[in-house]
Amino acid sequence: MLPDLDGLEACLHNKAGDVKLDARFRALFTLKGLASLSEDRKEQIIDIIGGGFDDDSALLKHEMAYVLGQIKDTYALGHLRRVLADEKEHAMVRHEAAEAMGAISSTEALPVLEKYLNDSDVSVRETCDLAIKKIQLDNSPEGQKEQILKEQRDKAHGDAIDAAARASAPIDPAPAIVDVKNAKDTDNVYSLEHVPEFRATFLDPELPLFDRYRAMFALRNTVQQGDNDAQIAAVDALVAGLKDQSALFRHEICFVFGELCHPASVAAMTKVLDDTNEHEMVRHEAAEALGGVLEDAENLENSQSEALRTLQRWATDSEAPRVVRESCVVALDEMAYNNDPTQFQPMDSIVA
């Protein structure tokens, strides 16, 4: 039996006034899962999520915008346009709305995104530029050719489990590099051999941000698909990118580490979270990344124990930016919830 939408809406919108933030997050991702299972209720689900943008938590609204993009339905564009157009809204939420338009990848969104290429906030400007380039590539013969090549390689190197994981994987703000010089259509290009090429593109500040993002996701794929040496080299390259001048770029690196949950990222993510001079958007992603790594850890090593203490410290620091504090709180609450044997199952697992 599928969950009741009215109950999920009440939880997400905190109609009772006492719903914890981590429970609201679980309701949101349950709605995301239901949207993929129930085509006839998809628009209703989108409206439930879109109706939550009057909340006072920028972190939750940012996540709502992200989910609307991941549902990948043009019906969500109206909600996302309103968020992007609201210059009083937190820049992190507006950025995520623009990125979500890119995830949906409809040319219908191009005029709106182009309007904010000169926005006062740099993260919004950069995100709109990325989204425009992604939509243009996705809808071009070149992009379609790359997609076919990607599918050929996935088929050549994957199995049924890998295929299921790919089907549920997040939509990236830029597709990973697939066309590597001298590589055959059936080659796995995400190997140690190609890390130097990906790294050079990723770290070159003179290149367009879109190209560097593509290299970033190629490095992520290398961590996921390469051998141990390739993983170490790719993680090292990603850590080196944390010195970049673009906060948006640094935040995406932290998001990638959150996807990977790789133990080698713990020290770097702890350092980012602890840096009070770092942009709150970057620190928020670092907190979520640490939560993911620590949840996967059976026995905490010294660096992981320090990371846990760092999350606990910033979760209770009243001087920390709210999005940082809430990110730490949610990460810790989710760890406690998912490791609690008295919980029958995580809410969103019923639609996995």
Mean pLDDT of the chain: 92
Q: Write out the two tokens for 126.
A: 């950069």
The contacts of residue 64 (CB under 8 Å, 6+ apart) are 28, 49, 50, 52, 53
- What distance in Å separates the CA atoms of residue 201 and residue 344, rounded to the nearest whole number? 46
Distance CA 127, CA 173 (A): 9
With CA atoms as reference, report the closest residue to 24 among 57, 65, 68.
57
**pLDDT band of 157, cuts 50, 70, 90:** confident
- What value does the CA radius of gyration of the chain take, rounded to a whole number of Å? 20
pLDDT band at 164 (very low <50, low <70, confident <90, very high): low
Q: What is the pLDDT of residue 114?
A: 98
Binding-site positions for Fe cation? 62-63, 95-96, 251-252, 284-285
Give the pLDDT mean for 191-210.
Answer: 97
Asked if 72 contacts 103 with a C-beta cutoff of 8 angstroms, the reply is yes
Lowest mean pLDDT among 60-64, 201-205, 338-342: 338-342
Predicted confidence (pLDDT) at residue 200 exceeds the cutoff of 60: yes
Q: Of the candidates 262, 266, 238, which has an alpha carbon nearest to the alpha carbon of residue 250?
A: 238
% of residues, the chain, pLDDT over 70: 93
- The per-residue pLDDT for range 65-89, each reduced to its tens digit, is 999 999 999 999 999 999 999 999 9
Q: What is the mean pLDDT of residues 221-245?
A: 97
Q: What is the pLDDT of residue 340?
A: 74
Q: What is the reported pTM?
A: 0.93
Of the pLDDT bands very low, low, confident and very high (cuts 50, 70, 90), residue 348 is very low
Burial of 186 (0-12, 13-18, 19+ CB in 10 A): exposed
Please tell me whether residue 32 adopts helix, strand or coil conformation.
helix
What pLDDT score was predicted for residue 299?
A: 63
- Please give the DSSP secondary-structure letter assigned to residue 75: G
Domains of the chain: 1-139 (1.25.10.10)
Binding residues: 62-63, 95-96, 251-252, 284-285
What digits encode the pLDDT tens for the residues 171-190?
999 999 999 988 888 889 99
Please say if the pLDDT value at position 153 is more than 90: no
Query: pLDDT of 104-145, one tens digit each?
Result: 999 999 999 999 999 999 999 999 999 999 999 999 999 999
**Could you read off the pLDDT of 296-308 as tens digits, one per residue?**
776 677 888 899 9
Burial of residue 295 (CB within 10 Å: 0-12, 13-18, 19+) is middle
Contact 205, 188 (CB under 8 A): no
Encoding tokens for residue 40? 């006839």
Structure tokens at 294: 């620590």
336: tokens are: 């406690």
